[in-house]
Amino acid sequence: MKKQMRLDKYLAQMSIGTRSQVKQMVRKGQVCVNGTVVKKPEYKVDPDQDQVVADGVKTQYVHEEYIMLNKPSGVVSATKDPREKTVLDLIDGQKRKDLFPAGRLDKDTEGLLLLTSDGELAHRLLSPKKHVDKTYYARIQGRVTNEDVKVFLKGLDIGDEKPALPAVLQVLIEGEISEILITIQEGRFHQVKRMFKAVDKKVVYLKRISMGSLVLDETLMPGQYRNLTEEEIQRLKEEQNE
């Protein structure tokens, strides 16, 4: 059985306009389905088969959208904000209006952020029960030692009711400003910063480089983005179904 949907919903989901705007377009005769003008917003279309032209522009239905963003510092992980620039403000030509960030990065944190319309996948990626690895590169004010590695591996009290789960800490450079990789399986508020604060050190730079099987594309400069490949999408879905 073919899945059909209302014409106005189709157009609104493809970011042609708001639901009320596209209804007006349809009623004014600005929308054609398979070469025929349709003036009823409730008209049913098959998104996979029917050809829809809105105001002279051919549209192609996208069931879900998956975008990898190298989030820059100074941008908030939200769909809308009255005062701050959001990650969605960086995206030109998004296909679906229901795009949202799967998880959050602090305003001053850079790196991998998945923007998607796939709520089911995002939920599984973010579910504490799934224990999805999230790896960050960081520069730390203070000397990070093997003792810190052991402490992080045991789990750490960061001031919440429960200690943070064990984290894998790898020291890349030990010095007054240390460079490290850290892999966590949670997404608590300011978690990495609070973990280092608990051992009397301070995060001065933080960048997420991977989330599950998804690894930040090194060719993307901060603020740049690209669509996920079919292989990347498939791997994400497969590992969340395991």
**Could you read off the pLDDT of 195-237 as tens digits, one per residue?**
999 999 999 999 999 999 999 999 999 999 999 999 999 999 8
Domains and CATH numbers, the chain: 5-59 (3.10.290.10), 66-128+217-240 (3.30.70.580), 133-211 (3.30.70.1560)
Has residue 1 got a pLDDT over 60?
no
Cα separation, 39 vs 30, whole angstroms: 8
List the beta bridge partners of residue 70: 112
Catalytic residue among 106, 108, 148, 217: 106
Side-chain-side CA neighbours of residue 164 (13 Å):
26
Q: What integer is the mean pLDDT of 135-154?
A: 97
pLDDT greater than 80 at residue 241: no
pLDDT for res 93: 80
Specify the long-range contacts of residues 129-132, CB closer than 8 Å, at least 24 apart: 130/240, 131/165, 131/185, 132/185, 132/211, 132/212, 132/240
Q: Which of 122-131, 136-145, 160-169 has the lowest mean pLDDT?
A: 122-131
Rounded to whole angstroms, the Cα distance separating 94 from 1 reads 29
The structure's pTM equals 0.83
User: What pLDDT was estimated at residue 97?
Assistant: 85
Residue pLDDT, tens place only, 117-139: 999 999 989 887 888 999 999 99
Percent of the chain with pLDDT over 90: 82
Look up 106 and say whether it is catalytic: yes
Asked if 166 and 152 count as a contact pair (C-beta separation under 8 A), the reply is: yes
Quick check: 85 pLDDT over 80?
A: yes
DSSP 166-190: P-EEEEEE-SSEEEEEEEES---TT
| pLDDT tops 70 at residue 60 | yes
Contact between residue 75 and residue 107 where contact means Cβ atoms under 8 Å apart? yes
| pLDDT mean over 20-37 | 94
Residues sharing a CB contact under 8 Å with residue 16, sequence separation 6 or more, in sequence order: 22, 25, 54, 55, 59
* HEC letters along 61-120: CCCCCEEEEEECCCCECCCCCCCCCEHHHHCCCCCCCCCEECCCCCCCCEEEEEEECCHH
